[in-house]
Amino acid sequence: MKTIVKTLLGLLTIFLFVDSAVAQDKLIKNNNDTITCIIKEIGDLEIKYTNPEVSETILFGIDKEDVSKIILANGKEMEFSSVMFDPEKYANNNKNALKVNFLSPLFNSLKLSYERSLQPGRSIEFELGIIGVGNDIYLTDEKGVCLKVGYKLIKSPDYYLRGQRYAHILKGAYIRPELAFSTYSYDYEVWDWDYEGTTRERNTMFAVLLNFGKQWVIDDGFVVDTFLGVGYGFGDDDESYGMHKAFIGGIDEFPIALTSGVRIGWCF
């Protein structure tokens, strides 16, 4: 009887040892290194584990920022992302913004833009300009539209602190590659030694721009956005001398296109 009990205890010990040796978790680091271990705790900032090959009692820790995935012994997987770029950390942020170019009516246009966050550090922005709304400086009865579409890359820190994240998903310095288009008609005075009347002309222009700017978001609501941009313009501009509504320049004599603006608006 004693022999049978000893045999059973021995088999049980061997079974437990084999099971503990085989049924272990895998911790996959961002550089694809794998740590075979037993996960003990997953905290907000750190994952704690033991390594039976080293010691059954020593508890190790690793930053969650350094871990891409955990494969548990039961086959279930858990994926992790950097706090800086984890969408869940910005769940309470408003991710849309409507803005108006504050100075555009001074140049006879009303420009409205819509920005939508796609993920932390990335957003897309559209602008519609109605030409002929505002101060008609040259009294030429300008009528038309201008359009812009840009992809915003919001700057991340040069180095990360533990647990660091954006103050707001739409806030920060940025670079925005952009395509611009404008078309409008206007009155053009014809002179040949003497005034001969007016004719209706059309200006149609395109541009590829790179904007540099910074956006502030106050109390998850009020937005202030300032930017400067430079690029190349081309199109049909016979008489307006580069004073387009979506940008300036871009004519044959000066193909460089320039843009700037101050936008104010509201997040929702």
- What the block records as the tokens of 268 is 């929702």
CATH of region 2-80:
2.30.30.100
Asked if residue 22 has pLDDT above 60, the reply is no
pLDDT beyond 50 at 180: yes
Give the best-scoring range by mean pLDDT among 49-58, 79-88, 105-114, 155-164: 105-114
pLDDT tens-digit readout, 23-77: 689 999 988 899 999 999 988 788 999 988 888 889 999 988 889 899 998 889 9
Q: Which of 54-68, 91-105, 147-161, 181-195 has the highest mean pLDDT?
A: 91-105
Q: What is the pLDDT of residues 206-216, one digit of tens each?
A: 999 999 999 99
pLDDT > 50? residue 128 = yes
Q: How confident is the model at residue 81 (pLDDT cuts 50, 70, 90)?
A: confident
Q: Which CATH number fits domain 88-267: 1.20.1440.120, 3.20.20.60, 3.40.630.30, 2.40.160.20?
A: 2.40.160.20
| Range scoring the smallest mean pLDDT among 3-12, 86-95, 178-187 | 3-12
Q: pLDDT at residue 195 above 80?
A: no
| 80, 110, 234 from 28: Cα distances, Å | 10, 52, 51
Task: Give pLDDT tens digits for 216-225.
Answer: 999 999 999 9
Residue of 110, 83, 254 whose CA lies nearest to 184: 110
pLDDT band, residue 20 (cuts 50/70/90): very low
Residue spans in the chain of domains classed CATH 2.40.160.20: 88-267
Is residue 250 pLDDT above 50, yes or no?
Answer: yes
Q: What is the pLDDT of residue 98?
A: 98
pLDDT of 252 > 70? The answer is yes
Extract the tokens encoding 88: 């869940």
Tokens of 77: 């997987």
pLDDT given for residue 56 in this prediction: 81
Q: Which residue carries 């993920």 as its tokens?
A: 119
Which residues of the chain does CATH 2.30.30.100 include?
2-80
State yes or no: pLDDT of 135 exceeds 60: yes
Under the banding of pLDDT at 50, 70 and 90, the label for residue 109 is very high
Q: What is the mean pLDDT of residues 185-193?
A: 81
What pLDDT does residue 206 have?
95
Can you give the pLDDT at residue 143? 93
Contact 215, 170 (CB under 8 A): yes
pLDDT, mean of residues 132-161: 88
Q: How many CA atoms lie within 13 A of 47 on its CB side?
A: 24
Which range scores top for mean pLDDT: 13-22, 128-137, 157-166?
128-137
Report the largest interatomic distance among the alpha carbons of the chain, rounded to a whole angstrom.
Answer: 128
Question: Is pLDDT at 5 greater than 70 in this prediction?
Answer: no
What was the pLDDT predicted at 18?
47
